[in-house]
Every structure is written in structure tokens, then in C-alpha cells.
Chain A
Amino acid sequence: MKAFQRETGLAAPLDRANVDTDQIIPKQFLKSIKRTGFGDNLFDAWRFLDEGDIGLTPNERRLNHRFVLNQPRYQEAGVLLARRNFGCGSSREHAVWALLEYGFFAVIAPSFADIFFENCFKNGLLPIRLDEAVVDDLFERAQGDGGLELTIDLETLQIQLPDGGEIAFEVPPGNRRKLLEGLDDIGLTLAQADRIRTFEASYYQRHPWLKRGAGADEETAP
């Protein structure tokens, strides 16, 4: 995974609460068996007026010019400003892949849904929770003349504003380190492989009926 230390980008304000993962990446575009190819369909039903199909590029689609991300001033945005409960609904990690591929490196909102929040850290997208009043203020600035460019520093846990102001934020410490160093999550756990094996030995002694496993071959059934 790509490490995240300090990034600068323009903020795009998506002024809706409860944005669900079905909106972030609609299910008809989930049919790839790879982790790539989802950015073109990010917020598909809002970005485009036509229904779309797999394989059509944005240039072949009818753009919804009223949708915020289609406004010329928010092209190249790197930070998505959102409202409460962002990323609710399905566990599809495709939502995070689509946001990253589109060009976002961070999402700022008053609250996030749990599974989406975790999925972000597995892929190098930084979700930042800020108080509702602070988010309101950022919305106002991002919608105002000249827009809002933010520098997000994960090392110092500060967001730098164009006027020199700073906003402190928090990130769960384990997730922060993983992102800062771009650590391989599975590698971190496999470093504890002996401990897992020791646990398993005692676990199956305590729960012998679970040892065979639901996925054991039928041929070996007793």
C-alpha cells in the first residue's frame, strides 16, 4: 500500500448526509474481478444523466453539469468534504477504490460508517472525522470564491488552511502508523503466526466440535 504522509489538494463539497456505498459506486459497476477500473463510475447516478454501462468512458456519457464534482472549479479535487454517516450501507471496498482512482486522497466528514472507515485505511485513503461545526465552516469556505485548498499532514495530525489556520484531527493510532509507513496489514499479523498457532491449539481443545470446520471435504465426513 502507498504511504500517506502529507498531501495537498482542493476540497470538493458533497452536501448530502448518509451518502451510501451504492451511491459511491453503483452495483452494476461491481462486476470486475480486479481492484481497478471503478473511478470512471464514482457517484455514477449523480455524475451522469444516462444509465451507463461497463466499459463506457466518461467522455461517452452525458454529464450532469449540476453535480458538484462536474463543476469546472472542483476538477482535480483531492479532498472530499461530506456530511454525516458517509459510506453507510454495503461493505463493498470498491467504494474506496473508486474514490482513490478518481483522485481523492482524503474524505472529511462529521461521521463515517464503520466498515467504510476501516476499508479506507486498508487502501491508503484517509478518512477524517471533524466536529459538525468545523465541517460546516469548511463547506462554506469550499463553496466560496476561490475554493479551499487543504494540506493534510498525517505526521502532525494537522490540516493547514490557506489563511494559515490549522485544524487538529485524530486517527486511530494503529491505522495512522499503517498509513504513514504504508505497512502490509497481513504481514503485520503474520508476524504473530506462532501466537495464532498456539491460540488455535488451545482453542480447539476447548471447542472440539469446531475443529473439523464447515468447509471440510464431504468425503472426510465421519
Chain B
Amino acid sequence: MPTLYDKIWADHLIGEREDGQSLLYIDLQLLHEVTSPQAFAGLGEAGRVLWRKEANLATPDHNVPTDNRAAGIDGIADPVAREQVVALDDNCRRHGVRQFGMLDPRQGIVHVMGPEQGATQPGMTIVCGDSHTSTHGAFGALAQGIGTSEVEHVMATQCLAQSKARNMAVQVNGELPAGVYAKDLALALIGSIGTAGATGHTIEYQGEAVRGLSMEGRMTLCNLSIEAGARAGLVAVDDTTLDYLKGRPLAPSGSEWQAAESHWQALVSDADAEFDSTVNLDAVALTPQVTWGTSPEMVAGIEEATPNPCRAADPTEADGVERALAYMGLAADQPIADIRLDRVFIGSCTNARLEDLRVAARIVAGKRVAASVKQALVVPGSGLVKQAAEAEGLADTFTAAGFEWRAPGCSMCLAMNPDKLLPGEHCASTSNRNFEGRQGHRGRTHLVSPAMAAAAAVAGRFVDVRDWL
């Protein structure tokens, strides 16, 4: 019997191409400035046009600056970054693609903007030239990150040519304890199955802990599917999904909502659906997670210590642990709570939604960022998140505590804009990748939940946020 993934696949399957690859119809393509210019150029060079322009929605996010935004594109100091944002603007105008530009309050990180606008809907197939497109799977949509050639392919044909992935169920039993969030759940999963653990699979997250998550939490969880190797992650549709969607600008309304809702409610795996593999996790046993190394699988609980290469399973792993500890400037068996921070970053497509900012603000309210922390940044995921956070006083809470309150974009998650780490600096970051140099040349990233990042900013080192609630 079909899984949710099987059902969405079947609903969009056009048939097989002559080379044996399946043609999958794509409902929505999100575009940003870094991976789209070559695709637009390729389209033009081949004399092709967009198959269905209204299936595309664009916003600049990767390298927009997070301050001095009033000047729009002219305010981008880096000429190379500016060229990309200008190219997106030109391409959208030329091809008639709708764009939320730098001065539009709806501008934001593509994976925050899409759901917020109601562009992301259950049962859809969604693509974007960004691996964290898996985020949208929180709505029961099949959402995948693709390369630039595939971006061009979808522009020109409205299809993706691919082979079907296998089904993996991640069953999370029990309820998450207080102070433990979707981010910790995702990091613990990656720590358990590894960054290639779900390669070739589409994950469906199931179980009480997943059902108990808000849409924001589900987005965080699905966002990190790619860090476990899965191109897509899914959560079945329920009332939480429908409640979130109702009334969003691009969501259906009136009689169309009725029709859509009855289709959406069938978007669950059948009770006897067969998965190629199943991973079980016990939510009750989870603790706040902190990555200590240079891959998201290099993660430990706040009460634990860094590993020792002597205890590695094989020479390749021992070598990896040793190399990562050296890069991070950490010793083997060093307690996680001993790691001191130079910077703190709260933001990214993983954790820059209103709920994330509320949780972090509650932790820092009435406190101060430690004097030893050089910079603590809060970068909301979109202009609308920023407005809402300002309206309910979160921005004031952050700035009173010594955080910098910025304008929306990917920012220090990948440091393509001016927000970056200096060599050797340790950063508590709510983003998704702790790869070498990800947040700046020779920078050292520790991935954590917004609550853990907020507490670390105040303490100047990692602390157990469960003691702060």
C-alpha cells in the first residue's frame, strides 16, 4: 500500500522518457540569485522560454546585506554580489517571473517566504536550486533541492527527469521534553544515522513527537533532511497543517479551499504502507544537541564531551574525528559545556521563523550578552517575520540584551554577504551546516537550537538550556 511519497509521486508522474527516467510534473519552482543566473542564461542561449511562468516565484536571499537595506540593490557594497541580485531582477523582468525584491516586505529566505505566503501547499511538487528545499516537506509536499541544470530543465519543461527514491520512515515516539526542540531531534537523528544515512531515500517523519510539532518545528525538521542525505523529507497533513495555511495570501479560498482540503486530507501514508527502512527514535530520551565537528553528524548532547579518535569504528572515521577536532581547536574528550563562543548567530532557513525568535527572546529577556561574545546577531527569515517580531517587542528584547537586530537574508549561515566569522572564531549558530569555512574562512561553527544559541550568548559558553526555563 502506498506511502505519502508514493501518492505524491503517482499524482505527478507523466510517464517515462525514452532513456528510462521518469518525468515528474513540478507545481512550483522557487528562485534566488545564486543558482538561477546560469539557468536563465542557458534558456536564452537555446532560444527556449519558460514553460509556465506563473509556476515560478523569486526572491533574493543568499547574498543580500542585512543592514543598510533602505537603498535596495544600490546598498549592496560587494560588486560581485550586486551583479547576481541585479541579474535576478533583470531575468525576472525579462521572463515575467514574479519577484519579491529587496524592498518588498515579503522578501526573505526562499524557504521562509514560500510557506509564509501560502505558496507552499500540501501535495505539491516543489523545487529550488537550494538543498534546503526539503523544508517545504513539512506541508506534505514533495520538495527537493536541485542543481542549476535541473533548474533550467524545470524552467523549460515544467518537469524533473529523475528516478524514484526509496521510502524511509523516521518514527519518533513519545513527547519532546521541555527545552528540547525540533532542531535537537533533527541533529540527534543525523548523529545516529549519519550524513549519508538517508541517501537515496525520501524520509517521512512520523510519530507522536512529530505530530506534536508546530509547522515551524516541522519545517526545521524537514529542512535538515538533506543533512541526513535525503533529498526530501515529509510530514503528513493534519489539522496543524490546515490551520497554518488557512488565510495565507496564496492559499486557496472559498470553494477552492473546500476542494483542496478534501484532496489534502488524503495526503497520509496508508496504515499498512511499506517502507524500505525504518528508524526509531525515543523523543523522551533526547537532550539539547551541540555539534562539535565539521559535519552535522558530529554532534553530542550538552551533558556529553567530544569523542576520542581512539574509540572510532575504523581508520577513516578516526581520521575524520582527528581532523575535525584539530580544525575546531578542540581536544578529545573535552566537555561540550567547556566550549566558549566568540559569536552567536540566530537565523537561517532552519531557524529564523517567528516561533524561533520567540523562544530565543524568552531566554535572553532581561539578561545581557556576555562581554566575551564579540557579536550576537538575530537575522529574521523574512521581512514579515521582522515586522511581526518588532510588533510584539521581540526586537526590543534582543537589542536590550545586546544583540544586533538585522534585515532578512541567509546572512551568516553561509557568509556570502558581509556577516561572517574570522579565522578561529567559535560560533553558536542556529543554521544547518558546520562544514569547514561555511561561516567564514577558518571559522568554527556549532549547530544548536535557537534556545541553546540564546543561552550560549548570555553565558559566553554552551550551557544546558533546560536549566534556564
Q: In angstroms, how far is the closest chain A Cβ from the Cβ of B83?
A: 6
A34 to B83 Cα, complex, angstroms? 11
Q: Which residues of B contact A178 (CB under 8 A)?
A: 19
Which stretch from A67-75, A87-95, A99-107, A144-152 is at the chain B interface? A87-95
Q: In angstroms, how far is the closest chain A Cβ from the Cβ of B74?
A: 18
Q: In angstroms, how far is the closest chain B Cβ from the Cβ of A18?
A: 5
A217 to B95 Cα, complex, angstroms? 12
A113 to B442 Cα, complex, angstroms? 24
A199 to B297 Cα, complex, angstroms? 41
Q: Which of A91, A173, A186, A209 contacts B20 (CB 8 A)?
A: A173
B340 at the interface (CB under 8 A from A): no
A199 to B21 Cα, complex, angstroms? 17
Q: Which residues of B contact A173 (CB under 8 A)?
A: 19-20
Q: Which of A16, A33, A175, A200 contacts B37 (CB 8 A)?
A: A33
Q: Does B35 lie within 8 Å of A92, measured CB to CB?
A: yes
B196 at the interface (CB under 8 A from A): yes
Q: In angstroms, how far is the closest chain A Cβ from the Cβ of B262?
A: 11
A153 at the interface (CB under 8 A from B): no
* CB within 8 Å of B: which A193-215 residues: 193, 195-196, 199-200, 203, 207-210, 212-215
Q: Which residues of B contact A35 (CB under 8 A)?
A: 38, 148
A177 to B194 Cα, complex, angstroms? 33
A51 at the interface (CB under 8 A from B): yes
Q: Does B259 lie within 8 Å of A209, measured CB to CB?
A: yes
A94 to B37 Cα, complex, angstroms? 12
Q: In angstroms, how far is the closest chain A Cβ from the Cβ of B272?
A: 25
Contacts A174-B19, A177-B19, A189-B161 given: A215-B97 contact, CB under 8 Å? yes
A90 to B416 Cα, complex, angstroms? 14
What sequence of 0s and 1s flags, for each residue 12-54 of chain B, a beta carbon within 8 Å of any chain A beta carbon? Answer: 1011011111010101100000110110010000101001111
Q: Which residues of B contact A23 (CB under 8 A)?
A: 435-437
Q: Which residues of B contact A56 (CB under 8 A)?
A: none
Q: Which of A33, A54, A174, A214 contacts B119 (CB 8 A)?
A: A214
Q: Does B48 lie within 8 Å of A192, measured CB to CB?
A: no
B56 at the interface (CB under 8 A from A): yes
Q: Does B149 lie within 8 Å of A119, measured CB to CB?
A: yes
Q: Does A199 lie within 8 Å of B14, measured CB to CB?
A: yes
A85 at the interface (CB under 8 A from B): yes
Q: Which residues of B contact A203 (CB under 8 A)?
A: 12, 25
Residue of B whose beta carbon sits closest to that of A176: B19
B380 at the interface (CB under 8 A from A): no
Chain A contact residue count (CB 8 A cutoff): 70
Q: Does A185 lie within 8 Å of B153, measured CB to CB?
A: yes
Q: Which residues of A contact B114 (CB under 8 A)?
A: 214
A188 at the interface (CB under 8 A from B): yes
B309 at the interface (CB under 8 A from A): no
B250 at the interface (CB under 8 A from A): yes
A176 to B96 Cα, complex, angstroms? 36
Q: In angstroms, how far is the closest chain A Cβ from the Cβ of B356?
A: 22
A180 to B21 Cα, complex, angstroms? 16
Which stretch from A6-14, A24-32, A58-66, A162-170 is at the chain B interface? A24-32
Residue of A whose beta carbon sits closest to that of B18: A188
Q: In angstroms, how far is the closest chain B Cβ from the Cβ of A203?
A: 6
Q: Which residues of B contact A213 (CB under 8 A)?
A: 28, 52, 54-55
A33 to B38 Cα, complex, angstroms? 6
Chain B contact residue count (CB 8 A cutoff): 93
Q: Which residues of B contact A199 (CB under 8 A)?
A: 14-15, 25
Q: Which of A18, A93, A192 contacts B147 (CB 8 A)?
A: A93
Contacts A213-B55, A216-B54 given: A84-B196 contact, CB under 8 Å? yes
Which stretch from B124-132, B205-213, B362-370, B452-460 is at the chain A interface? B124-132
Residue of A whose beta carbon sits closest to that of B413: A27
B199 at the interface (CB under 8 A from A): yes
Q: In angstroms, how far is the closest chain A Cβ from the Cβ of B41?
A: 7
Q: In angstroms, how far is the closest chain B Cβ from the Cβ of A94?
A: 8
What sequence of 0s and 1s flags, for each residue 431-465 of chain B, a beta carbon within 8 Å of any chain A beta carbon? Answer: 00101111001100000000000000000000000
* CB within 8 Å of A: which B151-189 residues: 152-153, 156-159, 161-163, 165
B334 at the interface (CB under 8 A from A): no
Q: Does B83 lie within 8 Å of A93, measured CB to CB?
A: no
Q: Does A115 lie within 8 Å of B159, measured CB to CB?
A: no
Q: Does B252 lie within 8 Å of A209, measured CB to CB?
A: yes
Q: Which residues of B contact A96 (CB under 8 A)?
A: 147
Q: Which of A93, A111, A218 contacts B149 (CB 8 A)?
A: A93
A133 at the interface (CB under 8 A from B): no
B81 at the interface (CB under 8 A from A): yes
Residue of B whose beta carbon sits closest to that of A183: B19
Q: Does B153 lie within 8 Å of A189, measured CB to CB?
A: yes
Q: Does B157 lie within 8 Å of A196, measured CB to CB?
A: yes
A141 at the interface (CB under 8 A from B): no
A31 to B78 Cα, complex, angstroms? 10
B231 at the interface (CB under 8 A from A): yes
What sequence of 0s and 1s flags, for each residue 21-55 of chain A, a beta carbon within 8 Å of any chain B beta carbon? Answer: 01100111011111100000000010000010010
A89 to B156 Cα, complex, angstroms? 26
Q: Does B416 lie within 8 Å of A174, measured CB to CB?
A: no
Q: Does B263 lie within 8 Å of A91, measured CB to CB?
A: no
Q: Does B147 lie within 8 Å of A215, measured CB to CB?
A: no
Q: Does A16 lie within 8 Å of B320, measured CB to CB?
A: yes
Q: Which of A88, A175, A207 contacts B229 (CB 8 A)?
A: A88
Q: Which residues of B contact A175 (CB under 8 A)?
A: 19
Q: Does A189 lie within 8 Å of B23, measured CB to CB?
A: yes
Q: Does B147 lie within 8 Å of A115, measured CB to CB?
A: yes
8 contacts between A and B (CB under 8 A): A27-B416, A34-B37, A93-B148, A114-B165, A175-B19, A199-B14, A210-B27, A215-B97
Q: Which 6 A-B pairs have the closest CB atoms?
A: A213-B54, A174-B19, A122-B149, A33-B37, A214-B119, A209-B252
Q: Which residues of A contact B (CB under 8 A)?
A: 15-18, 20, 22-23, 26-28, 30-35, 45, 51, 54, 83-85, 88-94, 96, 111, 113-115, 118-119, 122-123, 172-175, 177-178, 183-186, 188-193, 195-196, 199-200, 203, 207-210, 212-218
